[in-house]
Structure 1
Amino acid sequence: MFQISLAAARVNAKLKQAEAAKKLGVTEKTLGGYERGQTAIPGHLLQKAAILYNIPADYIRLPVVNDGKHDEDDFFLQSSTF
């Protein structure tokens, strides 16, 4: 399946980062973090962005983000204590 980055989807929709952030209800800094893969974008915001950018959410490629919230190592450590 063909996929593009979140930033490319925004650019293809002819939206500047500040304009898209405002329409998504986040700060420009937050949207930039999602686009650079520094922070994982919540599913509801991904869906909202897909609608705003007029592209199916499945066509947006998301980077792997190790932001400490859902790291696999932490999950396995917690799972092994059951």
Structure 2
Amino acid sequence: MIKLTLAAARVNAGLKQEQAAKLIGITPKTLGSYERGITAIPGYRLKRAAEVYGIPEDLIKLPVVDDGEYDEDEKNLQVSTF
């Protein structure tokens, strides 16, 4: 299954960042942070974005946000210390 980035989903919906942000109920700066992976998008905002963009949530590929936590795939890795 092909997934679209949050930004690509917005563009495919024919919306500029300012327009999409207003429809989602956030600022353009916040939307930009979500699209670039600076800030993790909350689930309820993702749901609203998917509604605005006219696609199912599971077709949106979200960026990995570097928050110091391990991703699910990395949780089972062990780091050895010397």
Q: Answer whether TM exceeds 0.5 for this pair.
A: yes
The answer for the alignment partner of 2:44 in structure 1 is: 44
- Normalising by structure 1, what TM-score? 0.81
1:7 aligns with 2:7: yes
Q: Which has the higher helix share?
A: 1
TM-score normalised per structure 2: 0.81
Please list every run of 5 or more consecutive structure 2 residues that lacks an aligned counterpart in the other structure. 76-82
Structure 1: gaps of 5 or more residues: 77-82
Aligned residue type for 2:22? K
In 2: Cα distance, 1:31 partner to 1:63 partner: 13
Amino acid at match of 2:12: N
Q: How many residues align?
A: 72
Aligned pairs (5 A) from 1:1-82: 1-67=1-67, 71-72=69-70
Q: Identity of counterpart residues, as a percentage?
A: 62
- Stretches of 4+ aligned residues off by more than 3 angstroms: none
Q: What is the SS of the residue equivalent to 1:41?
A: coil
